[in-house]
A and B are shown apart, each in its own frame.
Chain A
Amino acid sequence: DAGVIQSPRHEVTEMGQEVTLRCKPISGHDYLFWYRQTMMRGLELLIYFNNNVPIDDSGMPEDRFSAKMPNASFSTLKIQPSEPRDSAVYFCASSLDGVRNEQFFGPGTRLTVL
């Protein structure tokens, strides 16, 4: 398996633009997590899905953020409109059984909002 795949790896955009981050989890993993990492706040869980259903989105900073998982092999995280404070590295991770065992992280998307 190729592991968790994220695209794009780098994204530079201007304030106000829409940004869409993409993730393909490991096949067979029922859980998918979106994290955001910054120097100031560390690694924050934004939202996670179980069997394509959003379970907890309490970490989503505000209504500008939305996430979908239309099927077991694809998820998106959208920011609209983007703001400079959204600049961070966004990670997608997947696991077999939630937090009881290891999560497999993708390489991340480094987002810069100018």
Chain B
Amino acid sequence: SQQGEEDPQALSIQEGENATMNCSYKTSINNLQWYRQNSGRGLVHLILIRSNEREKHSGRLRVTLDTSKKSSSLLITASRAADTASYFCALDTGGFKTIFGAGTRLFVKA
């Protein structure tokens, strides 16, 4: 399957803690994107990392990409209750489709 697989499926942490989510895939990619989905809402783009990049930052978000291991991680530092959402990795495999993973459900307890 070309689909990205997120790990863990669900994560529960305390406010202020860091949250780390991982995405593994099996095919080569042009880029990898992370999206957030709040309950009952559409997906919102967070960050894009290209295959020739290893790390990107955006505010409290840090994304790494290891193409040799075919994996990416999303780190949210100093989490807030408002970060409670599902997080999806999405793969650009060179075709015309974005392949979305099944998502990690993050719950941040206040």
Contacts and interface: CB of A to CB of B under 8 A. Distances in A.
Contacts of B48: 101-102
13 contacts: A43-B43, A43-B88, A45-B98, A93-B43, A99-B96, A99-B97, A100-B31, A102-B33, A102-B45, A103-B98, A105-B42, A108-B41, A108-B42
Contact of A4 (B42, B88, B95, B97): B42
A82 B87 CA distance: 30
B10 interface: no
Interface of A: 4, 33, 42-43, 45, 48, 55-56, 91, 93, 98-108
Contacts of B33: 102
Given A45-B98, A102-B45, 8 more contacts: A4-B42, A42-B103, A43-B88, A45-B97, A91-B43, A93-B42, A101-B48, A108-B42
Interface residues of B, number: 19
Interface of B: 30-31, 33, 41-45, 48, 88, 92, 95-98, 100-103
Contacts of A108: 41-42
Contacts, number: 45
Contacts of A100: 30-31, 92
Contacts of B88: 43
Nearest to B3: A42
A107 B41 contact: yes
Contacts of B30: 100
A105 B96 contact: no
A108 B103 CA distance: 17
Interface centre among B30, B98, B101, by most chain A C-beta atoms within 10 angstroms, is B98
Given A42-B102, A43-B88, A98 B42 contact: no
Contacts of B41: 107-108
B97 A105 contact: no
Contacts of B45: 102-104
A107 B42 contact: yes
